[in-house]
Chains A and B, each alone.
Chain A
Amino acid sequence: MMSNPFAVSSPESMDANEMTRLFVPLSETFEIDSQGHIFIHGHRGCGKSMLLRQMTPDCLMLSTQNDFHKLPYLGIYATIKHTDLDLSDFERIDNEYAGLILAEHSLTLFVASKTLQSLLEHSGNSLDNTLAKNSLEKFCKSFVINPLKHAGAAFNDNEVPGTFVTYRDVLKNAISKIDLVYSEMTSYLRKIGIRISDGYIPYSGTIVGYRDFLFPLLCELTQLECMPKNKPVYLLLDDADNLSFLQTQVLNNWVSFRSGNKVSFKISTQKSYKTWRTTNKQLIEAPHDFKEVDISTIYTGKHSSEAYPKWVAEVVTKRLSEHGIDVSAESFFPADQKQEDAIKELAKLKIQTWEKEGKGYRPGDDAYRYSRPDYIKGLGAKQVRTYSYSGFKQLVHVSSGIIRYFLDSAAAMYAEQIKLVPGELRTESIKFISTSIQDNVLRENADELMFGTLDKLVDDARLGVSKNSTVQEFKQLRNLVQALGGIFQAILMSDRSERRVFSIALSDSPPDEIMRIFDLGVIHGYLYEGAIGTKDGRGRTRRYVLTRRLAPFFKLDPTGFSGYLFVTTQLLQLAIQNPTKAINDFEKNRLGSVIEETQLSLGL
């Protein structure tokens, strides 16, 4: 049992029961479970691994109440860790033909081993019978052991009948044979990584590849009676960013084969996939070769106001319930009551005065839009620091559509709260997180994001780590974020009709150097990109949303926004050079115009 209900467990180490208890489906399926290759992109912590793990047979059997052999596909889960395949020693042969051959060989064996391992770990008791054992024994002999021997592997496989008592013995034996062949390669790497001058050492071990070994193995697997017969195999490859450049090219070769009806690759990346080229330098492209989804953006789009909070609430209540805490997400993360009462009073006032002074279409519009910004504004420059970033709703909004951000903050809050419990820790005794702890954690996170992380990015660039970015560009990103946050704060404290602004739209076409800064902001999670209709309604333009994780830093209302700031290249140029001047000029000259959401046919 986890001691902290919000601690994030690796789906790799969770069993099917726990997975099923904790997994909350995303609001969109993206048809990931349809045949065909798909790349699932998303920032770390947006739920990719859970999504893939949930497609393995044990989880699928529980969630669909289906028998193993009736499943619509055979999901094989394989997480790729940083030190699994991308070894420094490989660099020695990166530019040699041997490098390419061994990249394919290592990836082939890795996936083959994970396939059998996944059957061991993720098939429940479905294969625990004599029929399955016998058919798996024949299968392993024909499609694992014999092909390896034909490829040159020298190992003893003269097991007498009856050697294997269970299907687990059969699979473990086949896995050990793959491991043996894999070890030949690591022994070779040990010899070549550091070698005496001019000491060329050829590889003389077994070599296998996708077409001659892995593909037949996968295809034949679902021809067995004990498997989901004639159904496709889905290879669920988690964290493919951790492959080396050459291994990534090899995987792209496999994707380019378009074997989706038999073998489909479901590949997750953290947006750092190294290349889209195959080993022949051919580009694999969506939708021609594969489908592509970005799940970290689904909850920053049209679902940000309803589906995402609902999803997070389900995740929270499931986790609390696992720990014997049966309260709602809202009760567990209470809002500052005094503050909420004051905001409600303002809302009432808005409704009462709507007929005379109202700006929205309905009394509720004004109450919703203006009461919280009015409250923040009413605190004044000196007291605005007392605004409390607490309450489930605000926490959800601050997490900016990434569940990991929510859970990490919640875990930190829980750890602080439990320190206040005297005597022995009793998980069940924590019934809520105090508003001050919620507020402190969110503020600390925002400070770290603005100071620590951005400073590190500037340092990265200064030290030449971010090879494609100059120091100047990261400094400009820091300036841009400061300027946008400052301008949004100025708008919130102003008397403009629409003051809940968190995003900008481009009213013209900024030059490449400015667009590069926006790209950096998106890559590093400071901005989210989308498109909206232009002001004149004749086309579409880019929009950029500032991450709400920075709301406490800029003293902004995180609970939603209703307007876009249309900005010109002139303002952006000033913003990336001199954020203070940009904010001042914006206030003085009203550079840029705020357009209300309702005036545009928007996607948010």
Chain B
Amino acid sequence: MTQKLQLENLVNSFSENISLFIGMASFEKRCLSILQNVESKVDYCLFFKNVSAGNLADKALKEMKALVKNRNTTVELDHDSPVSTADAMVKIIEENKARIYGGKVLIDITTFTHEQLLILLRVLKIVTPDASLILGYNGAEKYSVNDDEHVWLSRGVDQIRTVIGYPGNFVPSKKLHLILLVGFEHERATAVINQLEPIRLSLLRGDKLQSVSTEHFELNQKFFEQLRNFVDITLQTQTAVDSSYVSCIDPFSVRDSILEIVSNSKDYNIVVCPMNTKLSTVGVAMAALENNSIQLAYSKAIEYNEIGYSTPSQIARLFEYKT
């Protein structure tokens, strides 16, 4: 169950101190939103930052560190190397085991890349099984704030790769069923379909009543239609394509939706590519952690709209997560 709160009221939802806060420094200002509102109750912070992240992320990291003075450690991640990302996460989570088991942990999932969030959740399951965590998310008020006419969040596709820790249980004799959670990035989604050439394709778009906002739903709808057109016109028309709605705000509901689709697709190798909100990505991870046959894939963008990616909303969502 997710809890919806005004950012300013966030601190009141923690009766005791937060022993460990985990966040990701990013070009998005949203990486600061939750921390700014709970820092008075945070004992220690673990900040991740991508080595290749630009000046905006550096600036954000400085601000994050300033908020919590010397109560923090920063770990640099290499976006180009999932293996070293996993190793770096394993090392730092092992070092913080006592904090995780001994107190309240809050992970701000907002600005992790989908891939790194998935890796982190797998690492937490391996290194700190049965731990109880709080996951927090600050939705965007608006996306692509610098370009109303041509809404874009990322451009180009560098690489499509499976997510380390989620190899699935592929067998050569089965055909491919791709489940794609459609977000606002039509090009990346198109590249995934093009590259994987699935025999069965499930397109999941945001449910209007389960979207971050009506504006987001409408935008999601627009990108979904573009993608659907692409599938209809240029791809394997013998691909069985189905589409349905999925929650953008409730990871538990996403988990259940994915598991249901998978249970009806036993004759296929399953790949899920989460491209919607990070809340839904957590739902995908929960499904894949529960059902090992699910392989996860990630489409890495070449360029992000760093200057105008998003503006923070005043809303946060919290939910309890068990590793």
Contact = CB atoms under 8 A, between A and B. Distances in A.
A456 interface: yes
B195 A82 contact: yes
Contacts of A2: 237-238
A129 interface: no
A198 B167 CA distance: 21
Contacts of A459: 155-156, 302-303
B91 to A, nearest CB: 6
B257 interface: no
B126 A7 contact: no
Contact of A186 (B168, B195, B297): B168
A206 B119 CA distance: 28
Interface stretch (A8-16, A65-73, A502-510, A576-584): A8-16
Interface residues of B, number: 51
B212 interface: no
Contacts of A465: 158-159, 302
B125 to A, nearest CB: 9
B173 A113 contact: yes
A431 to B, nearest CB: 20
B94 A8 contact: no
B158 A9 contact: no
Contacts of B295: 83
A88 B238 contact: no
A82 B160 contact: yes
Interface in B219-274: 229, 232-239, 269, 271
A9 B302 contact: no
Given A87-B167, A88-B164, A456-B156, A463 B303 contact: yes
A420 to B, nearest CB: 16
Contacts of B162: 83, 86-89
A186 B302 CA distance: 30
B83 interface: yes
B227 to A, nearest CB: 14
Contact of B171 (A92, A113, A197): A113
Contacts of A12: 197, 199
A273 B140 CA distance: 42
Interface in A171-206: 175-176, 178-179, 182-183, 186-187, 189-190, 193-197
A408 B194 CA distance: 13
Interface string A118-140: 00000000000000000000000
A337 interface: no
Contacts of A9: 236-238
Contacts of B83: 88, 91-92
A456 B155 contact: yes
B165 interface: yes
A109 B158 CA distance: 30
Nearest to A91: B83
Given A2-B237, A13-B199, A88-B82, A83 B271 contact: yes
A560 to B, nearest CB: 28
Nearest to B91: A197
Interface string A1-42: 011100111101110000000000000000000000000000
The 6 closest A-B pairs by CB, nearest first: A113-B172, A179-B171, A194-B165, A88-B164, A10-B236, A7-B237
Interface of A: 2-4, 7-10, 12-14, 81-84, 86-89, 91-92, 109-110, 113-114, 116-117, 175-176, 178-179, 182-183, 186-187, 189-190, 193-197, 408, 411-412, 415, 456, 459-460, 463-465
Interface of B: 52, 82-83, 86-87, 90-91, 94, 119, 122-123, 126-127, 155-156, 158-165, 167-173, 176, 195-197, 199, 229, 232-239, 269, 271, 292, 295, 297, 302-303
Given A91-B83, A179-B172, A193-B165, 17 more contacts: A3-B237, A8-B234, A10-B199, A81-B196, A82-B160, A83-B162, A83-B269, A88-B164, A89-B165, A186-B168, A189-B167, A194-B122, A195-B90, A197-B90, A456-B156, A460-B156, A460-B158
